[in-house]
Structure 1
C-alpha cells in the first residue's frame, strides 16, 4: 500500500464496517457485535503496521494524503501524522477493540441496584455502529493537517458520543448528554470564529502554511483565545470542567473510556499543535495564567475526587487533575515537559481506561456505582480486584507503572524549564507535587472501601472475571506495566515532533535529559 493511503484506509474501514452493521437484519445483535470487533481489530493491526513504517528521522508529517475538498475556499482533505498524532491514533485504535469487547452487553440495558434492567432507547446495532463511526472521527481529528478539516472532525465526533451517552447511559443520561453537547458546541462555536479569522489573516487552512503566517500580536491573542477556550472545554480544564463528571458517570463504561481516554485528549493535542505553533507570541503572553489554571485543575480535581461516593465520578475528577498536569507540561514549553505531557496523554488513556472498565465490571455485577455498596470484593473476585488495584495504582502514578514516567517528566520539565522565568515555573512544579499525596488518598480510599474489609451481602454472590473480561483488562494492564519500565519506543516517536514545536514557538533552549539534546 502506498504510504499516502494509510490514513484514508484507517478512516474508511470503520465507516464501511458501521454501514454493514447498521444494515444487518433485525435480530442480528450477536453478529453486529462480532463484525464490530473484527473491524476494530483490523484497524488496530493496520495502524500498528503503519506505525512501524514511521521514520523518526524523516519529515515531520508522514503518510500524507491531500485532495482538494472545497476549492473556492482552499479547503483540503489533508491528512498526515507526526509523532504526537501517531501515538494518539494508536491509542484510539488500541482502545476501540477493547471497548467493543467490554461493551458486549452495554447496549442490552442497564442493571439497577434493585435488579431491574433499564432498556436503552436504541438498538444494539446502532450502538456498535456508533462506536465504529466514532473511531473514524477520532483518527481523523488527530490526522487532519487542514485546520478546517480538523474543526469538522472536532465537531462531528460529538454526535456519536452524544447518542452513546443519551441513549445507552444511566438514569440521568439525557441531562448528561445535553450538558456535554452544549458545552462542546459553545467551545466549537468560538473555534469556528477563530478559524474564520485565521483564514482571513493567514489566507490558508493548511497547518504548515499557517505556521509563522500570523504576525500581529493582538490578532494572535484573539485567535489564540478562540482556540484555547474550545480546547480547555474539551480537555477539560478548570473552571469549564463541570460537564465531564456528569457525562462520565452516566455514560456506559466503554463510552466513558473513549470519552475520557481519547476525546478529551483532542483538547490537549490542540493546545500543543495549534495554540502553540500558530500563535506563539500569544501563547507566551498567556503562559502564566494558563499555568495557574492548570495547577488549580491539578489540586481541585484531586481534592474533589477524595469526597466522591460514586466510583465513576471519582475517576472523572481524577482525570481533571491529570489533564491539569498535561496542560502544565504543554505550556511549560520545555522538551522534557512536552514529551512528558504527550506521553501522559497516552498513558492516561490506558490507565484511566482500565480503571473505568474495572469499575464498570463491578457496577454490572452490583447494579450500583456507589463505593459504600461494595466491600470485600477481593475475597470473592480476586482477579477483578487485582486488576482494579493495578489500574488504581497507575492512576496515582506509582513508580514502575506508566503514569509515573509521564508525571515525573512533566514536573521535572516544568521545574527545569528556562522558558519564562525559572522561579515561577519551579513554584508551579512544587505546588503540583501535592497532588501526588492527594492521589494516594483518593485511590487508596476507594480501594479500601470497595475491595477490602467485610464482604457486603450482595457482593457474596459476585462471580470473578470471565474470559471475555480478562481479555478486556489484561492488555491494558500489560501496556501500563510495559510502558512503565520501557517508555523509550513512544518517546522516540514523540520527541522529533516536540523538538519542532519548541523551534516554532522559539523559546530558550536547554539540555534535555530525555530524548537527546535540548529544546
Structure 2
C-alpha cells in the first residue's frame, strides 16, 4: 500500500476516540465510539482487500526504534490478519449492544472498549516481543474495569479473580522473553520464530509461556475464572471476552510456543492432549447441568477452545487450519450466543433458563437466529462450526486416534447441552406470562445479530475465503514443526501412497 501506515492508523483511531469519550456527554460518547469502531472496520476491510495472498510472509510492516532493545514494530501475516478482522468486526457490535443497556458512566465505558480495541489489534500486529508483552498484558486493564464497574452483583470478586489468574501466569513469560532476547540477540518476533533454541532450554521456555497462554485460552483446570467473569460482565463484555480475548491464548501458542520451541511442543503434546480431552468432557458435562444461560455458554467456550488446542498440537496442516477456523468461528458464534442472552435479559432481567419457554411463539425472529447460532455451536454442516471441527478432528486423528475419539464425544455432548438449552427457551409451554409478553427483536438487535449470522453461514459454505490468507503461514509453521512431530498411532498416509507390503518368498522358492 505504498508505505501507508494502515496498522498505526487502526491503532490511532480508537485511541483518539477513547480520549474523546472521556470529555463528552453520554449520547455523544456512544456516537464517537460507534464511528471510531466503524472506521476501524472499514480500515480492516481495506487491509484484507490489500493483503497479497502468496506474497511476502510479513506485510504492512512498520518499524521505529524507541530505545535500547525496544522497537515499535508492526506487521501482519495471514493468521494475524484474520484475528484482527474478528476484532474490528465484533467491536461495533459491542458498542451497539451497549447502546441502551449501559446508562451510568457511559463515556468511561466506551473509552474502555475503544482502548481494548487498540490493545487487541496491537497484540496481533506486534512484531517486537516486548511490545507484544506490554499490549498483551495491558488488555487486562480495560476488561478488569468493564467487569468491576459495569458488571453484576458479584462483579468485584469476578474482576479480581480474572485479573490475578491472568497476571500471575504472565510473570514467568516475561522472564523467559528476557532470556530469549539475550540468547538470540534480537527481540524481533519473525527472527525468533526461526531461531533454533537449545532443546534443553526449550523445555523451560515452553513451560513459562504455557503458564500464561493456558490461563488465557483458558485450559482446564485453570479455567475457573471464566464462568465468573462471563456471568458478572455486561453483555458486550462477554461478547468481546469470548470473541477475542480468549483467542489471545491460542494466538500465543501459534506465534510463540509452536514455532519457537518445536521440540518442547512435541515433548509436551501428551500434556496438551490430556488437558484438552479432560476439558472437552468435564466442562461439557458441567454445562449440561447449568441453570444460568451465561454459565452454560461460558463452559461451552472452554470445551470449544479445548478442541482448538487439540487441533494446534496435532502437528499437521489440517489440525492447525482447523484450530484457526474454530477460533474465528467460536469468536462469532459465542459472541452471538451471549448477545442472544443479552436480548432476553434486557427484557426480563434474569438469566435463569426456567423463567423462559415457548419464546418461538412471541419472538419468532429471535428463535430463528438463536437456532442458527445453536446449530453453528454444535457444528452443523453449512455453518462455520462444522468446518473447524472437521479439520481439527481430521488433524488429531492423524496424530492420536484416542484424542480424536474423546474430542468427538465432546461434540456429541455439545449437541446435548445446546439443544437442551434451546428446547427449554424456545419451545415448550409458555408458563410465565412476563416471558410470553416479551416483544420480538428490535431493528437495532437485528442489525447486531444479522451480520454475524451472515458471516457464520459464509464461513460454513465457503471457508476458502478465510483459509486462503492463512494457508502459506500455516504451511511454514507445519514445515517448522515437521522435524519434531511426535509419532502417530494412526496408520494414515495423507497425500501419498501407503508403502507396499513386502511378502517374504516361501522357503525353497526360486
TM-score past 0.5 threshold: yes
Quote the offset at 1:267 in angstroms: 0.1
Kept in 2, the 8 Å contact 1:211–1:504? The answer is no
Q: 2:482 aligns with which of 506, 515, 519?
A: 506
1:108-123 equivalent positions in 2, closer than 5 A: 108=103, 123=105
* Distance (whole Å) between structure 2 residues aligned to residue 387 and residue 89 of structure 1: 25
1:37-186 paired onto structure 2 within 5 Å:
37-71=34-68, 74-108=69-103, 123-186=105-168
Q: Deviations over 1:248-283 (max 9, x none)?
A: 111011111111110110001100110011111111
Partner of 1:204, secondary structure, is coil
**1:237 aligns with one of 216, 219, 227:** 219
TM-superposed CA distance for 1:460, in Å, is 2.1
Distance 1:480 1:512, change over 3 A: farther
Q: Does 1:483 align with 2:483?
A: no
Give distance in 2, aligned partners of 1:436 and 1:184.
28
- Correspondence for 2:434: 458
| Alignment-derived partner of residue 494 in structure 1 | 470
Residue equivalent to 2:23: 23
The question of 1:470 aligning with 2:452 is answered no
2:503 is matched with: none
Who is 1:115 aligned against?
none
Worse-superposed segment, 302-311 or 453-462: 453-462
Report the Cα distance in structure 2 between the residues aligned to 1:441 and 1:208, rounded to whole angstroms. Answer: 43
Check the 8 A contact 2:266/2:484 in 1, yes or no.
Answer: no
Structure 1 residue 432 corresponds to structure 2 residue 407: yes
Q: Output one character per residue of 1:188-247: Cα deviation in whole Å (capped at 9) or x when no partner.
A: 212112112222222221112223434322211111111112000000000110000000
Question: If the length of structure 1 is used for normalisation, what is the TM-score?
Answer: 0.92
Equivalent residue number for residue 500 of structure 2: none
Moved more, 192-201 or 165-174: 192-201
Q: SS of 2:313's equivalent?
A: helix
Within 1, Cα distance between the matches of 2:66 and 2:188? Answer: 12
Is 1:383 the equivalent of 2:337?
Answer: no
Residue 80 of structure 1 aligns to a residue whose secondary structure is strand
Q: Give me the whole-angstrom Cα distance separating, in 1, the residues matched to 2:233 and 2:388.
A: 27
The alpha-carbon distance between structure 1 residues 354 and 3, as it changes in their structure 2 partners (threshold 3 A), is farther
Change (3 A) 1:441 1:209: same
SS at match of 1:67: strand
Count of aligned residue pairs for this structure pair: 488
**How far, CA to CA, are the matches of 2:184 and 2:17 in structure 1?**
38
RMSD: 1.5
Aligned counterpart, 2:424: 449
- Using a 3 Å threshold, how does the CA distance of structure 1 residues 371 and 507 change in structure 2: closer, same or farther? farther
**Separation in 2, partners of 1:81, 1:485:** 26
Over residues 297-318 of structure 1, what are the superposed CA-to-partner deviations in whole Å (9 max), with x where a residue is unaligned? 1112211111111100100000
CA distance in 1, matches of 2:214, 2:378: 23
Which structure's CA Rg is the greater one? 2
Within the candidate set 278, 289, 295, 2:271 is matched to 289
Relative to the length of structure 2, the TM-score reads 0.93
* Distance across 1 between alignment mates of 2:196 and 2:466: 32
In 1, are the aligned partners of 2:128 and 2:188 still within 8 Å (CA)?
yes
* Distance 1:426-1:144 versus aligned 2 partners, 3 A rule: same
1:512–1:250 CA distance, 2 compared to 1 (3 A): farther
Aligned to 2:325: 343
Is the contact made by 1:328 and 1:414 (CA closer than 8 Å) also made in structure 2? yes
- Contact kept, 8 Å, 1:352 with 1:395, in 2: the verdict is yes
Instruction: Determine if contact 1:80/1:143 at 8 Å carries over to the other structure.
Output: yes
Residue 454 to residue 266, structure 1, CA distance change in 2 (3 Å): same
Asked whether the equivalents of residues 298 and 325 of structure 1 are also in contact (C-alpha less than 8 Å), the reply is yes
SS in 2 for 1:66: strand
Q: Indicate how the Cα distance of structure 1 residues 217 and 22 shifts in structure 2: closer, same or farther if over 3 A, else same.
A: same
**Deviation at 1:139?**
0.1
Q: Which runs of 5+ in 2 are unaligned?
A: 486-491, 496-510
1:306 pairs with 274, 288, 308, which one?
Answer: 288
SS of aligned partner of 1:399: coil
Contact 2:383 2:457 in 1 (8 A): yes
User: Could you say which residue in structure 2 is the equivalent of 1:355?
Assistant: 337
Report the CA distance shift for 1:512/1:81 in structure 2 as closer, same or farther (over 3 A). farther
